[in-house]
Structure 1
Amino acid sequence: MLVTAKELLMEAEKRKCAVGAFNVPNLESLRGVIQAAEMLEVPVIIQHAEVHENLIRLEEIGPVMIHYAKLAKVPVAVHLDHGSSLDACVKAIRMGFTSIMYDASLKDYETNVKETTELVKIAHSVDVSVEAELGEMTNSAIGSGEGRESELGAFGNKDLFTNPDQARSFVASTKVDSLAISFGTVHGKYFTEPELDFQRISAIRSATNNFPLVMHGGSGVSDEDYKLAIDAGIRKINYYTYMNLAAGTAVKMEASKRQNKELFFDALALKATAAIKENICGALRIFNHL
């Protein structure tokens, strides 16, 4: 069932949980996410990250994502993650995506507000949800390519974290539907335990009148930290790196078992899908308090 992200976030707010949002740059990840959601009977957001255009183009994977969302037995929103230009966002909207993220977080505040507001007007005219980002996240060695490396490692520079007062002004000015914030997570794999600023989440929620907040860099966070972030007000969690690693590990193990034997790719694809499904199930159970 194809829905907007705004609908899912409203329901997550009622249930005081978080919607899982997963990048799906191939059929194995797409099938694994949908199968996990259907098995647990929970809604999900499937995403195409613009930085994954080197893996598969939006024109190729987008229609497949929409097709799977429409056929799913649970509510599914189809989202463009980290759209870097108006053209990319409009392309996704015209394709049938029900949610887009316009990321101008690396631009100055005034430009971020101006460009995001323009996109919100376009998206809302056709009932498409909009996510924006305020504050700056850092990357680990296996990051997505967004932002810049932090001199403080995985914990980031708190001077770059989202300012609650600025968040209040940004939400009021742009009329976005959700806001990705910086509070200590990173894109990619964690090499040390992250130190997350949960008080900042609560402060932003308070300043924005309980506005839906988004956690990027959600993979690799401890179960307890997930729960604390959700309790503080996170309503959408982006998750990709660790489900990707789970698939790679499964393929590696299967290949090692078949040394000196014929190895067919379709067998590896099925192993990858199953591993992704299992990994996603674990994440969805935490996000949905199951």
Structure 2
Amino acid sequence: MLVTLKEILKEAREKKYAVGAFNAPNLESLLAVMQAAEEEQVPVIIQHAEVHNDLIPLDIIGPIMLDQARKASVPVVVHLDHGSSFSLCMKAMKLGFTSIMYDASTKPFEVNIEETKEIVKIAHSLGVSVEAELGHMLSSSVGAGEGKGAVSLSDYASTDDCYTNPEQAKIFVEETGVDALAISFGTAHGIYLQKPVLDLDRITKIKEKIDIPFVMHGGSGVSDEDFRTAINNGITKINYYTYMALAGAEKVAEYINSHGPEDKIFFHDLSIEGIRGMKENVRKAMRVFYGK
């Protein structure tokens, strides 16, 4: 069933779990996520990231995502991830997306507030939820680059210059009226080359100022223990893609390597293996997010 982000995160906050948000830049990843959610019988968020528009345009994958969501036996949000252009946010809402992320986090604080406020006004008039981002999302040395605003910690003098400021978060939420806020506390987009050092207490400090759902971007590579701590501290949506995509590719590679040079390999068999690999990885992540 198709629901809004605001609806799905309300129960997550009450029951102290996080909803997994998975990017679907192709049919295989979409099917893997939907099958995993159905088998685990958990709510889920399927996302189209603006940066993936070159892989598959929104107007092609969007209607398929919406169709899958409407047919599902579990609550499903169809969400635009890291939307940085006004036109794409509008297109997503017109298609029927129930949630959008407007990302102006790389712009000055005041500009982020004004632009986000305008998007919120339009989205809420259509019954669409809005996520925004405050702080700067880090990027690892190797990664899938889901977010356009990703930076390295070395670009800043200290973490306070990069991570979400609790006082600014309070002002931002009160001014914009967003339904969820993506906060920066040490996670990164892409593949971790070393264990991330997370400022998990920062989540609590922000929650003391504002009590709305918080979003973790860069969820891949974080330990199960850190996930649970982040959730207990206030994270209710976790974006997850890189390691899921790797798991699909690894399963395809295993299938190819299990065949000899004379064997015939069909592309549709590779798709099946890719779905299987991603689904296994997503189910494991879901069990952590939902405390199973």
**TM-score if structure 2 supplies the norm length?**
0.96
8 Å contact from structure 1 (residues 227, 287) kept in 2: yes
Distance in 2 between the 1:138 and 1:234 partners? 18
Partner in structure 2 of residue 204 of structure 1: 206
8 Å contact from structure 2 (residues 190, 220) kept in 1: yes
Partner in structure 1 of residue 131 of structure 2: 131
Partner in structure 2 of residue 70 of structure 1: 70
Identity, % of aligned positions: 56
8 Å contact from structure 1 (residues 158, 183) kept in 2: no
Partner in structure 1 of residue 163 of structure 2: 161
Give the deviation of 1:19 after TM superposition: 0.5
Partner in structure 2 of residue 225 of structure 1: 226
Give the deviation of 1:259 after TM superposition: 2.6
Runs of 4 or more consecutive aligned structure 1 residues displaced over 6 Å after TM superposition: none
8 Å contact from structure 1 (residues 138, 146) kept in 2: no
Structure 2 stretches lacking a partner, 5+ long: none
Partner in structure 1 of residue 240 of structure 2: 239
8 Å contact from structure 1 (residues 139, 146) kept in 2: no
Give the deviation of 1:86 after TM superposition: 1.1
Change (3 A) 1:41 1:90: same
Distance in 1 between the 2:225 and 2:152 partners? 25
> RMSD of aligned C-alpha atoms?
1.2
Partner in structure 1 of residue 33 of structure 2: 33
Q: How does 1:1-290 map to 2 (within 5 A)?
A: 1-140=1-140, 141-144=142-145, 146-152=148-154, 157-208=159-210, 210-260=211-261, 261-290=263-292
Give the deviation of 1:136 after TM superposition: 0.3
8 Å contact from structure 1 (residues 202, 232) kept in 2: yes
8 Å contact from structure 1 (residues 131, 178) kept in 2: yes
8 Å contact from structure 2 (residues 65, 78) kept in 1: yes
Q: Deviations over 1:113-141 (max 9, x none)?
A: 00000000000001000000000012112
8 Å contact from structure 2 (residues 153, 162) kept in 1: no
Q: Number of aligned pairs?
A: 287
Structure 1 stretches lacking a partner, 5+ long: none
Give the deviation of 1:148 after TM superposition: 4.6
Q: Give the secondary structure class of the aligned counterpart of 2:208.
A: helix
Q: Give the secondary structure class of the aligned counterpart of 1:207.
A: coil
8 Å contact from structure 1 (residues 138, 187) kept in 2: yes
Q: Give the secondary structure class of the aligned counterpart of 2:237.
A: strand
Distance in 2 between the 1:17 and 1:282 partners? 15
Change (3 A) 1:151 1:214: closer
Distance in 2 between the 1:229 and 1:41 partners? 23
Q: Give the secondary structure class of the aligned counterpart of 1:20.
A: strand
8 Å contact from structure 2 (residues 150, 189) kept in 1: no
Give the deviation of 1:220 after TM superposition: 1.1
8 Å contact from structure 1 (residues 205, 211) kept in 2: yes
**TM-score if structure 1 supplies the norm length?**
0.97
